[in-house]
A and B are shown apart, each in its own frame.
Chain A
Amino acid sequence: MCLAFSLFMPLLSLFLFSRDDRSAHEVSVDRSTMAEHILEDEEEGLEVTDEQKIGLATWFLLKSPPGEIQQVAKSIRGVLMDERLFDMAAKEAFPKYNMEQMIAIDLADHSGQVLLTKYGAIDVSQHLDPRTAQVAVIDHVKQVCTDVRPAADDELPSAFVEEHRASIDNELVKYVEEAFPKGNCAVYCTCGKDVESGGDEFELKAVISATKFSAQNFYSGSWRSVWKIQVNQELQTVEINGKINVIAHYFEEGNVQLETSSECSNSTLLQSPADTGVAVVNVIQYLESDYLGVLEESYSKVSDNSFKELRRKLPVTRTRFSWNNALQLSLSREITKELSLTR
């Protein structure tokens, strides 16, 4: 009985906890009580309601490895065997997934790409591309851009903030081009977009996202870093706080996944927009390279220590195990013991 319960405890906590790591764009409120419902139903016996099925399907979609959500969607369709339920789950899961994974979509007029993030979302299906001051209309489930329009004035920051934003963006693009073979980046103003010179603080978010997926080589991976840049005009400082998330998935004859993350921070002085841009990106570059170094070290430590502690290559005898002798050896041990006891 306790085993059956323990199988459901993780499911229960999953639905309780998944409320916390949600993005700004919320999903239906029912989710919080889903867990209780599932547990209740489990005690009564049998049926899983449609609502619960949608919840479970959404969970699978959200947990898709980088670049694999379409494959997961196909499989979930096969498991659900109900198009209506799948559509509802997809409508809920895809926008959240696209924004969490920060995927890049080609603009409808082929003029470039737009990153889908919660920082640039004007509403669920309209996303701002700050670099070109355009707004893209997105179909999340198909993961395409259906329309592009220029951004309205109130969707853009003030000229003063824009100067800083653009300068950081320019430097960031240069850095990303050098360090990330398939990376995209964007800088958004997330707070104080109407601030003028000599005024209050404002906050920018620099986002870097790189995804790779190769079905024939059986791997996929993504790097996402989000850098919060707080500019304090009074103190003339710039605070930089970053979160880096890396996922790697290898699936030839199995399923191996790496999940690693890091939080780091630093600060620099506020200078002219051009110089601030260079300084901020230098900090970002330094912290990210540092993280890469820590990762490399973790890999070699785990490979040298933990792995070797699990299983030896050969027994201490330096020969393979003697299967036909082992029992005789242990039998003869038993017999010797018996003889010595009865003596």
Chain B
Amino acid sequence: MQVGRLRMQAAEEGGRERERVKERETKRRDILFVRAGEHSEKHQRRIGVRVAMEAAMDLMRRMPPTQVDTALSSLLLLLPQYSSELLSRVDQPLQVAWDAECLKHYLLCDYNRDGDSYRSPWSCKYFPSLEDGAQPSDQLRKLEVEANEIFAIYRDQYYEGGISSVYLWEPEIGGGFAACFLIKKDGQGRRGLLQHGLWDAIHVLEVGEEDEGLAHYRLTSTVMLSFTTKDAPSVSFSLSGSITREMQADLSVAEGHLTNMGRMIEEMEGKLRNGLDQVYFGKTKEVVFTLREPLGSLTATSATGQSLQQVVMDDILRK
């Protein structure tokens, strides 16, 4: 990706190593601070209020979702000093890569990236290959393997297809660990329907250290949806975007972290799925129909309604 290349070109041969390691450390530290900082005033003050960064995030909330890539590329060019943070905060539709060793697809995100290579959750190898790419600790890797297996089953039951990946890592500062659960589903227009839908879900969980049998879980979920349809040849219709929600809980670790994380994600996805229906279809449709009302509709403000009210008033006054 762009960050990797810029940085690698800037550094010399020997410096390349140092750059990557430094980037990894900064990223891990930033990711959790940043996710916390998005919602916590205290964190914002601690790391300083960065006007440029917040302005960049505001822009991403307004640009057409179909052009996230171009908008993000532009921001990376304009704010190279914030590339790390931009790449981790801005949600992009998930890209897919092929694990040539395990012969499976896996999803790409900033959390499994090192330089220009991405680590597969199946073989734990980087593609394109990277000799000393960042690896999770053995213990974390064990949990990661289990998480990927279970999440794949969950994905199959709810999505009946699609691709999933789970990545775990340890934050630089503080205990506990973090995980991201990714799902990508492409609803190819079946039965000859001309509608096309895409679902990308990114769930980032921060798990605090265990304390008296409880752990604090913080889930930030983003679902990106995109629908296009071309029914009539002369009409084009494209509805896309993303919604982000957050959820926190203190749960007992008796059944293990995976169960807790899984249940939170399942609940969140359920809520999101319902919420999305309302937001995507309900709200946007409402906007269109307040701009242009169907003719002859009887409402308090429509012309038909107003003229009817006038007639009624005249009648009453006459009597």
Q: A60-B63, A327-B150 are in contact. Are A297 and B287 (CB under 8 A)?
A: no
One of B20-28, B99-107, B208-216, B253-261 contacting the partner: B253-261
Residue B6 is within 8 A (CB to CB) of chain A in the complex: yes
Residue A134 is within 8 A (CB to CB) of chain B in the complex: no
Residues in A whose Cβ lies below 8 Å from that of B290: 181, 212, 221
Q: Choose among A8, A57, A60 the residue that contacts B2 (Cβ–Cβ < 8 A).
A: A8
Chain B residues numbered 37-84 whose CB sits less than 8 Å from any CB in chain A: 51-52, 54-56, 58-67, 69-75, 77-80
Chain A residues numbered 58-102 whose CB sits less than 8 Å from any CB in chain B: 59-60, 63-65, 68, 71-72, 74-81
A: residues with CB less than 8 A from B are: 1, 3-4, 7-8, 10-11, 14, 38, 42, 45-46, 48, 52-53, 56-57, 59-60, 63-65, 68, 71-72, 74-81, 177-183, 210-212, 219-223, 246, 248-264, 285, 288-289, 291-292, 294-299, 301-303, 305-307, 309-317, 320-321, 323-324, 326-327, 330
Q: Is the CB of A79 within 8 A of B288?
A: no
Q: Is the CB of B62 within 8 A of A263?
A: no
Q: How far is the CB of B277 from chain A (nearest CB, A)?
A: 7
Residues in B whose Cβ lies below 8 Å from that of A68: 62
Alpha-carbon gap, A302 to B227, bound state (A): 7
Alpha-carbon gap, A249 to B61, bound state (A): 10
Q: Is the CB of A4 within 8 A of B1?
A: yes
Alpha-carbon gap, A178 to B283, bound state (A): 23
Residue B15 is within 8 A (CB to CB) of chain A in the complex: no
Q: Is the CB of B51 within 8 A of A313?
A: no
Q: Which of A1, A180, A250 has the most CB of B within 10 A?
A: A250
Q: Is the CB of B281 within 8 A of A302?
A: yes
Q: Is the CB of B187 within 8 A of A309?
A: yes
Q: Choose among B59, B293, B303 the residue that contacts A75 (Cβ–Cβ < 8 A).
A: B59
Chain B residues numbered 165-210 whose CB sits less than 8 Å from any CB in chain A: 185, 187, 189-190, 193, 195-199
Please, could you name 6 A-B residue pairs with CB atoms under 8 Å apart, sorted by A?
Answer: A42-B2, A56-B78, A60-B74, A259-B239, A289-B295, A310-B159
Q: Is the CB of A326 within 8 A of B154?
A: yes
Q: A10-B73, A256-B284, A311-B269 are in contact. Are A306 and B52 (CB under 8 A)?
A: no
Q: Beyond the given A10-B73, A262-B234, could you list 8 further A-B residue pairs with CB under 8 A, ordered by the A residue number?
A: A7-B69, A56-B78, A68-B62, A78-B54, A253-B245, A256-B280, A261-B236, A311-B159
Residues in A whose Cβ lies below 8 Å from that of B284: 248, 250, 256-258
| Closest B residue, CB atoms, query A14 | B70
Residues in A whose Cβ lies below 8 Å from that of B316: none
Q: A46-B10, A79-B75, A306-B227 are in contact. Are A3 and B95 (CB under 8 A)?
A: yes
Q: How far is the CB of A2 from chain B (nearest CB, A)?
A: 9
Q: Is the CB of A320 within 8 A of B266?
A: yes
By secondary structure, the B interface counts as: helix
Alpha-carbon gap, A181 to B286, bound state (A): 14
| Closest B residue, CB atoms, query A256 | B241
Q: Choose among A71, A221, A299 the residue that contacts B291 (Cβ–Cβ < 8 A).
A: A221
Alpha-carbon gap, A11 to B71, bound state (A): 9
Q: Is the CB of B292 within 8 A of A309?
A: no
Q: How far is the CB of A250 from chain B (nearest CB, A)?
A: 5
Chain B residues numbered 261-317 whose CB sits less than 8 Å from any CB in chain A: 262-263, 266, 269-270, 273, 276-277, 279-281, 283-295, 301-304
Q: Is the CB of A310 within 8 A of B197?
A: yes
Residue B135 is within 8 A (CB to CB) of chain A in the complex: no
Q: Is the CB of A310 within 8 A of B62?
A: no
Q: Give 10 closest A-B pairs by Cβ, nearest first.
A: A78-B55, A256-B241, A254-B243, A306-B197, A315-B157, A323-B262, A178-B303, A221-B287, A248-B287, A309-B187
Alpha-carbon gap, A311 to B272, bound state (A): 11
Q: Is the CB of B288 within 8 A of A78?
A: no
Q: A178-B303, A180-B291 are in contact. Are A48 and B239 (CB under 8 A)?
A: no
Alpha-carbon gap, A255 to B303, bound state (A): 33
Alpha-carbon gap, A178 to B303, bound state (A): 5
Q: Choose among B64, B79, B232, B239 the residue that contacts A79 (Cβ–Cβ < 8 A).
A: B79
Residue B139 is within 8 A (CB to CB) of chain A in the complex: no
Q: A298-B229, A301-B195 are in contact. Are A75 and B56 (CB under 8 A)?
A: yes
Residue B129 is within 8 A (CB to CB) of chain A in the complex: no
Q: Is the CB of A323 within 8 A of B150?
A: yes
Q: A256-B280, A260-B236, A260-B237 are in contact. Are A38 and B95 (CB under 8 A)?
A: no
Q: Is the CB of A4 within 8 A of B258?
A: no
Scoring B residues 1 to 38 as 1 if CB is less than 8 Å from chain A, else 0, what string do you get?
11011100110000000000000000000000000000
| Closest B residue, CB atoms, query A57 | B78
Q: Is the CB of B10 within 8 A of A64?
A: no
Q: Is the CB of A79 within 8 A of B78?
A: yes
Residues in A whose Cβ lies below 8 Å from that of B88: none
Alpha-carbon gap, A285 to B219, bound state (A): 49
Q: Which of A52, A71, A327 has the most CB of B within 10 A?
A: A327
Alpha-carbon gap, A79 to B80, bound state (A): 11
Residue B238 is within 8 A (CB to CB) of chain A in the complex: yes
Alpha-carbon gap, A302 to B194, bound state (A): 10
Q: Is the CB of B239 within 8 A of A330?
A: no
